[in-house]
Structure 1
Amino acid sequence: MTETVCVAVPRKGRPLEAVLERLASGAGVHALADDVSSTLRYEKAVTKGSQQPDRDVYERLADYSDLDDPTAPEYTLLRDDRDGKPRRIVFDSVTIETDDVDVRLVGREEPFRSLRTHEFALGFDSADLVLEEVVSLRPEGLDSLADVNARIDPRESDVRVVTGLGDTVYHTLMAKPELLPAGAELDREFVTSYEGDLCISPRYERLVEAVLGTDALENLEFTYPSADDAEEEAAIADAGLGVYLTVTGSTARDYGLVLGEHLFPSETVLMENPTEADGPTGLVKELLTEQELETALQV
């Protein structure tokens, strides 16, 4: 009988799509990956009010989950955190059969924490969460996934990052141009010498501390977007200097901001709890990492 290895994954969003894309290439399940991704995008649109379904949520849920097919994806209902707390259909699980081992993706609200509590040997989550929870703060900052494992206190967690999936957006420095002296670069060195406010999202405070390093923060005061700020970039423009996630930076430029150094990649990562790993786990890890990436790490 083929062994089944359970892998914790997010229930929705960009990280789950990155996992499905990796498995589509590694295990040849392109149709399955497309089906799950398109279903969840549609359900997100329903939750946001941009799609008006002709069936209620329970009818759609029953239609999506084929309980007679053991390899079909299953979905479940959660309360969304948007206004009104609407029900939202999210990913629950699916089993993917391969020649050597079956991979069962299991949806979790917080996959990283599921590995920390030893429920899984393998899982996917955002690299941001690792920095926010277990990476130690030091005087010097870090700027790549390759630095992360060395910063995880073994007394805090057994989990280690294996590789990134390449679905990268960046925590990027942004500033009003008049803040920069002539010829100065908007980079870590500038931040270290700067005195004043640094606008960030409240949830990223510890991440920014880890990325910039505590020495760079000695003369900085964190400020945060207010409830009146429609965009984080607007709050950064008011503060003069800030850090926020960006892909193209078009919104930042709309507010008169210049983009500086990419401080750290916000990326979905494969993680392992080595204390729970066994032979079949190694086969799955090989399947998930056989496409070489520049972000591959050693654990």
Structure 2
Amino acid sequence: MTTPVPIAVPRKGRPLEAVLERVASVVGADAESLADDVSSTLRYEKAVTKGGVEESRGPYERLAAYSSPADPYAPEYTLLRDDRDGMPRRIVFDSVIVDVGDVPVHLVGREEPFRALRTHEFALGFDSADLVLEEVVDLRPSGVAGLDDVNTRIDPQESDVRVVTGLSDTVYHTLMATPELLPAGTDLDRSFVENYEGDLCISPRYERLVTAVLGTDATRDVSFTYPARDADEEEAAIAETGIGVYLTVTGSTAREHGLVLGEHLFPSETVLMANAAEASTAIDRVRDRLVREEAESVLSV
């Protein structure tokens, strides 16, 4: 067998499902079955970890049932410690080989695919666009509005990794505020934040991301605050603060807390990334196959 092209992928959750769906859309029926198998297995294991399903078998028994190490084209799984209370063991994706055209591709699970690309362990990988903003996008007076802005703000001395395309599994970093904070007829958008002074509630660790998205001018007079560690819902903390930024799809929970939904600031979606310093003919062929013509956003590398 030709040496497979390795691609770093997330180990679990929505990002991994988005990757498997993209691969299935390119490869066809066999990969669709693989995607369904992996996704259903990991959803079941998530339910076991969270206590929603009782399972009489131990984790090693389930690992043996799920994996077929002798067949590289069958998915393999592994055990990790989950960060929930008690740090339970959780079964997550490990690897599988699929043929993309005439090139075998080895999907390899990583906790931090983006960082694996940055350290040149992989030439291709999938991860959240959020991590690019958190780590390598330059902070400038104006903010980043979408994926089209990302590559132009990566210092070539800082990283060889570039975003190739988004997978459209989009949720948005969205502005939200209480009605009392908004004067009549005022739009809750970037310009509102530029004129705002005070606390802005965000998720912990997202200071750099929110600063990159809004711009340093808009955040100059803002003080970031965070939900309490034991908070059940971030929207409740934002309602208490008065204004904040949080990920949302429908915004129903925000409305339940009396919040007004404002501008969608940045799409939090899974992206295909490439390390330009590790390019080769085979890698370029795989990358081009994974970028479908109908993809909504294709960025230059």
Tell me the TM-score normalised to structure 2 length.
0.97
Question: Which of 206, 209, 229 is equivalent to 1:227?
Answer: 229
Instruction: Give the structure 2 partner of residue 168 of structure 1.
Output: 170
Residue range with higher mean Cα deviation, 269-278 or 196-205: 196-205
Instruction: Give the structure 2 partner of residue 18 of structure 1.
Output: 18
User: Separation in 2 of the partners of 1:244 and 1:284?
Assistant: 34
User: Separation in 2 of the partners of 1:120 and 1:69?
Assistant: 23
Instruction: Give the structure 1 partner of residue 268 of structure 2.
Output: 266
Question: Unaligned stretches of 5+ in structure 1?
Answer: none
State the Cα distance separating 1:228 from its structure 2 match. 4.2
Is 2:61 the counterpart of 1:59? Answer: yes
SS in 1 for 2:206: helix
After TM superposition, the structure 1 = structure 2 runs for residues 28-39 of structure 1, keeping only pairs within 5 Å, are 28=28, 29-39=31-41
User: Separation in 1 of the partners of 2:49 and 2:122?
Assistant: 30
User: Separation in 1 of the partners of 2:221 and 2:233?
Assistant: 26
Identity %: 73
State the Cα distance separating 1:229 from its structure 2 match. 2.4
Per the alignment, do residues 22 and 206 of structure 1 end up closer, same or farther by CA in structure 2, a change over 3 Å counting? Answer: same
Instruction: Give the structure 2 partner of residue 144 of structure 1.
Output: 146
Residue range with higher mean Cα deviation, 220-229 or 89-98: 220-229
After TM superposition, the structure 1 = structure 2 runs for residues 101-180 of structure 1, keeping only pairs within 5 Å, are 101-180=103-182
State the Cα distance separating 1:100 from its structure 2 match. 1.6
The one-character-per-residue Cα deviations of 1:19-60 (angstroms, maximum 9, x if unpaired) are 000011101111001000000000000000001112111110
User: Separation in 1 of the partners of 2:72 and 2:272?
Assistant: 25
User: Separation in 2 of the partners of 1:121 and 1:44?
Assistant: 30
User: Separation in 2 of the partners of 1:227 and 1:132?
Assistant: 21
User: Separation in 2 of the partners of 1:69 and 1:114?
Assistant: 25
User: Separation in 2 of the partners of 1:124 and 1:42?
Assistant: 23
User: Separation in 2 of the partners of 1:216 and 1:33?
Assistant: 42
Is 2:202 the counterpart of 1:200? Answer: yes
The AA in structure 2 aligned to 1:171 is H
1:141·1:212 contact (CA, 8 Å) conserved in 2?
A: yes
The AA in structure 1 aligned to 2:184 is A
Question: Unaligned stretches of 5+ in structure 2?
Answer: none
**RMSD in angstroms over aligned alpha carbons?**
1.0
SS in 1 for 2:187: coil
Question: Which of 284, 287, 293 is equivalent to 1:285?
Answer: 287
Structure 1 residue ranges (4+ consecutive) displaced by more than 4 angstroms after TM superposition? none
User: Separation in 1 of the partners of 2:231 and 2:125?
Assistant: 35
Tell me the TM-score normalised to structure 1 length.
0.98
